[in-house]
């Protein structure tokens, strides 16, 4: 397979075939993100993508899931995405779900009809880094989208029957915006009502603009237990219909899996115990955290 640079995928795509159809991220401005800082965004040539699909065909049915890399493959034109999805269906008929990262920009550029066409061709799920439901935080981190656009994204994906997996980022508002970040993230989740939510914990990664914001005092990393308080607010205040809500990403201090609202009381009890004890030994050791 032709892989350019480091390859990223969501934790739940760990066993998926990774097909790189773009290099880098067309936005590449989020202040906390170093994933594609070393790459200039380019769609990969069709011949290269097709050669990878044919290589996977020769390898046979190793997995039933496929993830389109890199950062926001959904930004490709519908015509190119259809070409890719049709080739996957033709040569890898055992693949029953194709996934990709997407966001307010890439979903915003597509009509519900186009998204429906993509779903009918095999696109089953879009992983969307919402990060925060607070517009001040979204501006601070240069997310490139607003709260209203996040809600619109959720509505379009639902109308097209594409599963929507939302990523939120504990601590990304810093200490100053921590409370409004938590409250508005809870309310945006209520309005989006996605079937999947993954909470990650902010890490200040060397080389990212967030390092500079921290140096100048614009951003101050909240303490570990403060970020768990944010999580508590998000779980308590959000009203979700049926959502697999997980904090099992490597960056988190307290990994949990739950279904909300079914497990809400249980999750809140765990958080309350940890927040009351304030014992760091109840949290994942710093050395065991990852990005």
Confirm or reject binding of residue 190 to ligand SF4 (CB under 6 A): no
Confirm or reject binding of residue 127 to ligand SF4 (CB under 6 A): no
Query: Which stretch, 10-18, 24-32, 210-218, 278-286, contacts ligand SF4 (CB under 6 A)?
Result: 24-32
Nearest of 111, 282, 250, 128 to residue 196 by alpha carbon = 128
Confirm or reject binding of residue 129 to ligand SF4 (CB under 6 A): yes
Contacts of 38 (CB under 8 A, 6+ apart): 5, 6
Burial class (CB in 10 A: 0-12, 13-18, 19+), 269: exposed
On whether the CB atoms of residues 67 and 109 are closer than 8 A, the answer is: no
∠ CA 251-218-147 to the nearest 5 degrees?
A: 65
Pick from 17, 25, 82, 123: which binds ligand SF4 (CB under 6 A)? 25
Q: What is the distance between the alpha carbons of residues 19 and 261, in angstroms, rounded to a whole number?
A: 35
Confirm or reject binding of residue 95 to ligand SF4 (CB under 6 A): no
Pick from 27, 119, 181, 224: which binds ligand SF4 (CB under 6 A)? 27
Pick from 17, 21, 23, 35: which binds ligand SF4 (CB under 6 A)? 35
Confirm or reject binding of residue 140 to ligand SF4 (CB under 6 A): no
On whether the CB atoms of residues 233 and 218 are closer than 8 A, the answer is: no
On whether the CB atoms of residues 122 and 98 are closer than 8 A, the answer is: yes
Give me the least distance between CB of 50 and ligand SF4, in Å please: 25
Pick from 22, 49, 71, 115: which binds ligand SF4 (CB under 6 A)? 71
Nearest of 202, 207, 231 to residue 219 by alpha carbon = 202
Confirm or reject binding of residue 174 to ligand SF4 (CB under 6 A): no
Query: Which stretch, 20-28, 57-65, 74-82, 264-272, contacts ligand SF4 (CB under 6 A)?
Result: 20-28
Confirm or reject binding of residue 36 to ligand SF4 (CB under 6 A): yes
DSSP character at residue 44 = P
Confirm or reject binding of residue 172 to ligand SF4 (CB under 6 A): no
Instruction: Note the residues at the interface with ligand SF4 (CB under 6 A).
Output: 25, 27-30, 33, 35-36, 71-72, 103, 129
């Amino acid at each position: 397979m032709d892989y350019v640079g480091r390859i990223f995928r969501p934790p739940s795509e760990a066993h998926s075939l990774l097909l790189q159809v773009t290099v880098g991220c067309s936005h590449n401005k989020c202040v906390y993100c170093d994933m594609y800082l070393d790459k200039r965004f380019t769609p990969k040539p069709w011949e290269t993508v097709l050669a990878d699909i044919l290589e996977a065909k020769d390898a046979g049915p190793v997995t039933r899931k496929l993830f389109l890399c890199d950062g926001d493959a959904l930004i490709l034109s519908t015509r190119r995405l259809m070409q890719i999805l049709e080739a996957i269906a033709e040569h890898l008929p055992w693949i029953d779900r194709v996934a990709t990262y997407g966001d307010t920009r890439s979903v915003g550029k597509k009509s519900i009809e186009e998204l429906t066409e993509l779903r009918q061709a095999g696109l089953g799920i879009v992983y969307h880094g919402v990060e925060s439901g607070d517009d001040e935080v979204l501006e601070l981190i240069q997310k490139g989208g607003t709260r209203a656009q996040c809600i619109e994204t959720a509505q379009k994906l639902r109308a097209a029957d594409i599963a929507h997996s939302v990523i939120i980022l504990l601590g990304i508002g810093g200490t100053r915006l921590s409370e409004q970040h938590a409250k508005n993230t809870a309310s945006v989740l209520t309005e989006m009502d996605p079937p999947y939510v993954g909470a990650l914990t902010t890490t200040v990664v060397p080389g990212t603009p967030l390092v500079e914001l921290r140096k100048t005092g614009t951003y101050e990393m909240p303490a570990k237990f403060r970020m768990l308080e944010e999580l508590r607010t998000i779980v308590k205040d959000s009203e979700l219909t049926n959502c697999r809500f997980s904090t099992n990403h490597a960056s988190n201090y307290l990994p949990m899996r739950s279904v909300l609202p079914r497990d809400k009381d249980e999750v809140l009890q765990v958080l309350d115990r940890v927040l009351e004890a304030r014992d760091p030994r109840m949290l994942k050791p710093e050395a065991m955290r990852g990005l």
